[in-house]
Amino acid sequence: MREMAHLLNLESLTYDEAIKLQLEMASMVSEHDVLESYELFCGVDVAYSNQNAVAVAVIQDKDGRIVEVSKHKCIVRHVYVPGLLFLREAPPMLNAIKGLKSDFDVLLVDGNGRLHPRKFGIACYIGIVLDKPTIGVAKKLLCGQVKRVSGRRVVMLNGDVVGEEVFKNVYVSVGHKISLNTAIEIVKGLTKNGQIPSPILAAHKIANEELGRRG
């Protein structure tokens, strides 16, 4: 296995090297539950203003009350490339999370987990780096096709179930150390009116406020 220091050095990776890293790390992802109950939820998101980025991590309790907020500002290092979002957003997200003093049970990332061309979206990367239960939540379908299975909208890719459209434009997938069903239940429990789960929504709003926008 590679050393963690190498996994964290995304700065100088070429696209080919990044893809190779994804293929290698994809086998490290666990889709098994490691917890039986979840009390504290952390949501992360990144907002931009030209070359400036601000990542925000928010911890909420079961009642949606904010326990802690951590912000991290930096300069954009990579352009956005579909399938390689982690190069651009994982470093700032990890730094924001690193600034948290409190611990949390599960992380919700704005972006896909296994719902990805190589079964390794940004939520998988962050989950493995932190070695924590992580869920990917996206608002658009990156790949695969939605198939209706007994009332549910399952996302299929190459014959595999890689995620589910829990609400309109809300795609959930496994990041790490959690099962898809548990991830879906957690997202459903944290959403209001079919929106993006509360912790991510809060992080999104705070990140934009930090850039002087209205929320």
**Where do we find the tokens 């924001």?**
96
Min dist CB 88 to DNA, Å, is: 7
Min dist CB 101 to DNA, Å, is: 25
Strand partners, 47: 54
The window from 1-9, 26-34, 109-117, 178-186 that contacts DNA (CB under 7 A) reads 109-117
Sites for DNA among residues 117-156 (CB under 7 A): 121-123, 136, 138-143
Q: What is the C-alpha radius of gyration for the chain, rounded to an integer number of angstroms?
A: 16
Choose between 36 and 171: whose C-beta lies nearer to DNA: 171
The SS3 of residue 148 is: strand
Q: Does 157 bind DNA (CB under 7 A)?
A: no
CA 79, 80, 84, 89 torsion-angle sign: positive
Cα(180)–Cα(176) distance, integer angstroms: 10
Question: Residue 17 carries which DSSP code?
Answer: H
- How is residue 191 written in tokens? 């959403």
> For the chain, first and last CA: distance in Å?
44
Sites for DNA among residues 29-58 (CB under 7 A): 45-49
Choose between 58 and 62: whose C-beta lies nearer to DNA: 58
Q: Residues 6 or more apart from 30 whose CB is under 8 A from it?
A: 176, 177
Min dist CB 16 to DNA, Å, is: 15
Q: Does 167 bind DNA (CB under 7 A)?
A: no
The window from 9-17, 84-92, 127-135, 156-164 that contacts DNA (CB under 7 A) reads 84-92
Contact set with DNA (CB under 7 A): 45-49, 80, 82-86, 89, 110-112, 116, 121-123, 136, 138-143, 208, 211
